Chains A and B, each alone.
Chain A
Amino acid sequence: MATVNLIIDGKAITCDESKTVLEAALDNGIYIPHLCHHSDLHPNGGCRLCVVKQEGVDGVITSCSTKVKEGMVISTKEETAEKVRKLSVELMFKTHPSECVGCPKYGKCHLASISQYVGDAGREFRQQKLPLIENEENPLMLHEMYRCILCGRCVRACSELRGVGALKFEKVDGRMKVVINGNSLEEAGCQFCGACVEVCPTGSIRDKVGVFKDDPSLSREMTLVPCSEGCPAHINVPKYIRFIKEGNYPAAAATVREKAPIPECLGYICVHSCELQCKRQHLDGPLSIRNLKRFAASQDDGSWKANAFQKDATGKKVAIIGAGPAGLTAGYYLKKLGHEVTIFEKLPKAGGQMRYGIPSYRLPREVLDKEIAEIESIGVEIKCGVDVKSAAELKAEGYDAVFVSVGTHAGNRLPLEGNDLPNVYLNADFLRSINLDEPLPVGENVVVLGGGNVAIDCAESALRLGAKHVVMTCLEAPDKMTASEEEVTWAKEDGIIVENSRTFDAIESENGKVTGLTVTGIEGLKFGPKGPEFTRIPDSTVTFPADTVIFAVGQHPDITEEFGLELNRGRIVTADGHKTSVEGVYAAGDAVTGTRSVIAAIAEARAAVSEIDIFLGGDGNIEENLAPEQIANPCIGKNPELTKTHRTEPTVTDSESRKTNFEPMDLGFDCSKAGCEASRCLQCDLRVQISPQKFWSDYISEEGGQQ
């Protein structure tokens, strides 16, 4: 590469001949104001802020569009250049609102920052304020073009970076404006990528409030890719969806596996926080991300194994108590880090709640077995049927570290009259009995107390065991139930009656046999520090006839103080990450947090593994690139189908054929459904590729750093 030598502000600079004067200056810590220039876009030259003086050339030159040449002598702070800059800023502010404080971009606005740097000559120009018109037509972005200073970055980003061209310049009543390129958004072909927002230096084009989280502690990548942020394990969702779109399913499966060792199980039962954050929910409904994951994982060919790391044996021994999602994840990564791992499981088989809580119609056991076998195949030893009484004692048996992931296998029993009668069950016991093939008997009329997904599992299981009438009742109103919407819908299809907004008064009985559950209607439900608060509605007490009652009102760890760890309200206390009260004993998962989700347990276990590895002398790094590198093409083009393709629903067995057995009911996606759904992705991650905007203070601090 040929280089040239030039002098900028007295500093001798050698740089590549392809650079512009502006780039050469910025690269060398010399700030030249610029506004219409963006490092990812073609130079424009319209803002006149980057003008500089070149020795031997009349007037000023535009540094963003002038290439460096041998022997150039440039002065960036020459008087005329500074005057031109000042004039330009001054003129821009004659149409731009002068009050910054009310602007949502206050403090993050490039124009304000530059005007601060350049200053104002205070000439008596005329104010030519533009009418305060907001355009909210775009469901994701807000156009307040009265703030627009016509730098054209949005127009260029939309056409140059994306190949879409949904924005254009147009003269409206004589004045230049940025408008959408068509009579409607659809005609303009907006692909909702947000590139225009990303490059806008002012508050003219912005994300609508609520589309992204306004949390300064989040990284730019996490803020802009809400699905990945919403996932506790931060799985790279856009990446695997793109692989699915390309038909590279094994690569998609490998991408999921980079953050979780049981991708297919997650594909069946994940609580999909990613979908709840999906940007497309503001358009026409979120992507069906979980079903995409499930399809991809089902197509896994194991090719990722070639990229998986396996460190040399360290000679350290780690014991894990509990083979649920957290324990399996911890075992898997600790083994990969070279430690010898033994998992102790109280129940006959590994899997934890995935086997003994979640019914098999939601998660087929062969899928679970397959993924556990994969974990065992790298040398993780799982000893089932071993009940560890004390974590502290286990530590003393020669293990260098202990990881506790005992989950929450004990159901909560509410202090109700009749709560200890026969045929009054706890959720955990009831579901476990079914999965141990010794189901607790149910009668004809079953009432389930609770409104979460476990309550639904209990109700659906009771139905499948032969109950005729199943009622679910809970404190929460229909829209406040913690159970996922689709599961409630399916339950209702199956004839399960959901009675919302009720408080439980007593379990009625006759001659020691359950006859019903008495409840009273409530309103104004709130969850205070001491539990639920509400007002009882007078004369709304009813009794649901029942011969079987199941409590599904939460679970707690099935351990006591004898376990040797400090507990708080039954849960293991951790501090400083995942350390328990005993040195070298770590804990994570439901046993620490209370009942959450499989993916949360996996994410916590991964974090704990890093801590344990560091404790054992390792570097704690468990990151790996299992999937091939992916080049996401930012030039997405104008795809008219993008907005017309609506959320694909999975194939689900109809109510009549599913409610009598424990066979899988949600059949997920096939290849064409998966491809179709994957094509709906708005590819939020493309926006992260765009270089973030830099303020003059960023360059000045770089300069300071060099010195």
Chain B
Amino acid sequence: MKNLLVVSCVSDDIKAPLSMYLMKNYLSEVVAGVEKYASELDADIMYLLPEGEKVEGLNGDVRYTSACSPTLTNPYSVAQVLGGNIPRPMIQDEYVAVYEDKAVSVVTPEAAYGIKNGFNDKFVAVNVGEKTEIKKATVGQIVGEVVALEGTKAVLLGGLKGTFMAPAEAAELKLEATEKFSSITVYDSSECMVDACVQLMNQAYNASCGKCVLCREGTSQFRQIVTEMTTGKAKSGDLDLIKEVSELISIGAYCPFGQNMTKPLTSAIALFPDEFDDHIKRKTCKCGKCYKAAELYYIDPDECQGCGDCIDACPEDAIEGKDGFIHIIDQDLCEQCGKCVSACDEGCIKTATKLPKLPKKKTKVGKW
């Protein structure tokens, strides 16, 4: 069987967009590395690029895909995408992925660059706030030299599969030629770690290919649980649940992404236990991000007419009350959908980050 070497530019971690950067800025090195590797494998070459991208000067067999997945370093996953399916890896003894009667191998632009120039250069995506900058560094250099970490709150090394570290600790680490050092994300003191984890778990949920139960349902559960920490619905046992379950997922998940996707969350909890605890137990966010972002709905007891319209409108059955009594929203059930607001003719359903004093038992309209 003939061989096919696919240069996958669609496997990047969302926090480490190195592939297209290298294709655009170091094309000749990448191509040279690819050609060297291909001749060793006796393989035809194909470039797989994200849809909508264009690389000046790139010749040969170039394909485009809307798929982007951490599994797209797996030959089977790449073959699936080339065949018009969604990415799904296959990890199996002696398994050969085939596309158009050719045995598929995969290389990333970063690896190809290394094949050409050796593995001494290290490209690092540095994420600060909304901005991402890609820096060329050298293996062995300390992280603190690549990015200024003084005065920051935390550092995430390695993107969605990475680990949160204290800045002082991270600054002393020496760069290695591994994926862990492809991405450095800096969080400053204004940022909420719980909110940061919500973002990361949402990204992990989207990145999960969905093949393996532990990753697919795990990301889905974790993102919901962490989100609930920012809306006051999380339970006190949730931190232990996350810890225990992520340990099992790291052992039992199918692919490296699934095994590691819980790490940002567990390391954040380990680093900032009080911050998570405050969110769950005290329902407060010192950074003021979370409970502001998800405002709480309540019914103004001075204005409620006890008509029941909001009760009918609530899809969660979260509003209690009888005709002529002041209605009350059960905060544990409320999903903040806002349907009650438009249902209320009196305009008495309001939002706040902190709830005012509200009736605790059945109170007749006008008796508050």
Contact = CB atoms under 8 A, between A and B. Distances in A.
Given A48-B213, A60-B252, A80-B251, 5 more contacts: A47-B213, A67-B93, A88-B213, A126-B221, A152-B211
A152 B88 CA distance: 11
Interface stretch (B8-16, B175-183, B235-243): B235-243
Nearest to A152: B211
Contacts of B245: 87, 123
A46 B212 contact: yes
Contact of A46 (B224, B237, B244, B254): B254
Interface of B: 85-86, 88, 90-95, 205-206, 210-214, 216-218, 220-221, 224-225, 228, 235, 237-238, 241, 244-245, 248-249, 251-254
Contacts of B212: 45-48
Contacts of B238: 124
A66 B237 contact: no
B93 A66 contact: yes
Contact of B254 (A62, A87, A95, A168): A62
Nearest to A65: B92
Nearest to B235: A124
A79 to B, nearest CB: 11
Contacts of A59: 251-252
Contacts of B244: 123
A84 B251 contact: yes
A95 B252 contact: no
A523 B214 CA distance: 64
A45 B76 CA distance: 13
Nearest to A35: B213
Contacts, number: 99
Interface residues of A, number: 37
Interface in A94-121: 94-95
A169 B214 contact: no
Interface in A242-298: none
A169 B86 CA distance: 7
A91 interface: yes
Nearest to B252: A84
B252 A168 contact: no
Nearest to A159: B85
A635 B224 CA distance: 42
A91 B220 CA distance: 10
A47 B245 CA distance: 16
A94 B220 CA distance: 10
A527 interface: no
A125 B93 CA distance: 34
B214 A48 contact: yes
Contacts of A65: 90-93, 95
Contacts of A170: 86
Contacts of A83: 248, 252
A46 B211 contact: yes
Contacts of B206: 174
Contacts of B225: 126
Nearest to B244: A123
B216 A176 contact: yes
24 contacts: A45-B91, A45-B92, A45-B211, A46-B213, A48-B213, A62-B254, A65-B91, A66-B93, A83-B252, A84-B252, A88-B213, A92-B217, A123-B245, A124-B237, A124-B241, A126-B221, A128-B224, A150-B213, A168-B85, A169-B86, A169-B210, A171-B210, A174-B205, A174-B206
A51 interface: yes
